[in-house]
Amino acid sequence: MEHNFDTGAVLLIDKPLTWTSFDVVKKLRSAIKMKKIGHAGTLDPLATGLLVVCTGKFTKKINEIQDADKEYICSMVVGKTTPSVDLETEFDGEYHFQHITKEAVLDLFQKNIGEIEQVPPVYSAIKIDGKRAYESARKGIEVEIKSRLVTLKEIELITFDLPLIEFRVVCTKGTYIRSLVRDWGLDLGSGAYMSALRRTKIGDLSVENAKDIILLTDEIRSAREAREALEKAANESENISTNN
């Protein structure tokens, strides 16, 4: 590995399913053996894709990176709902969806290009009175979450195969894709949940250049062990020379 982690490195990770963003940081912190490390833009455990991790002095870049536009590929399933709008919670509703047409979906996407107002999901990390919203939601406590303005710059329909609707979206910071799924399900006269989400880009950074977290940490450990072995050999050689 050519990275100087103390000086600073920007690492592109393809976050695995069920891992939290902190799980990735913790794994890297253990491999690199340094405390100054953080990620730019959280991904939910049930989402995969690009997670940017910064080390050393490059942690100053975190705000700049997470402020950039994001690109996601989302699998939206119409006809059913869950409280969390994904598969973290059980289904709580079933609705007709046979009336939904491809033309209606394309029209809906077109109408949502630009600035829109959305309410984040109740199962989100937003803090309400000092507590994460999902903590209250899991306890059955209702919380009021204020709406926010976000901008959708591109929306592309990838798959229309009811009940599955797969789309690509480019959006500004703070956009909740689950909120889009929840609201669009209603707009289509049905209900919907998100079965999969993958972040593919943050600004100019792409998941195509990202590394598997296990492979990367193995590489880091191997490089560190090789470096330590060389340093040990050099020290031993120097000691022999001094003694002679």
Active site residue 44: yes
Total count of residues recorded for the chain: 244
Residues 6, 23, 44, 204: which is the catalytic one?
Answer: 44
CA–CA separation, 71 and 154 (whole Å):
9
Phi, psi of 44 (to 5 degrees): -65, 155
Q: What angle do CA 214, 196, 182 make, to 5 degrees?
A: 140
* Exposure string over 120-143, b if 16+ CB within 10 A, otherwise e: bbbbbebebeeeebbebbeeeeee
Cα 12 to chain centroid, rounded: 12
- Known catalytic residues are 44
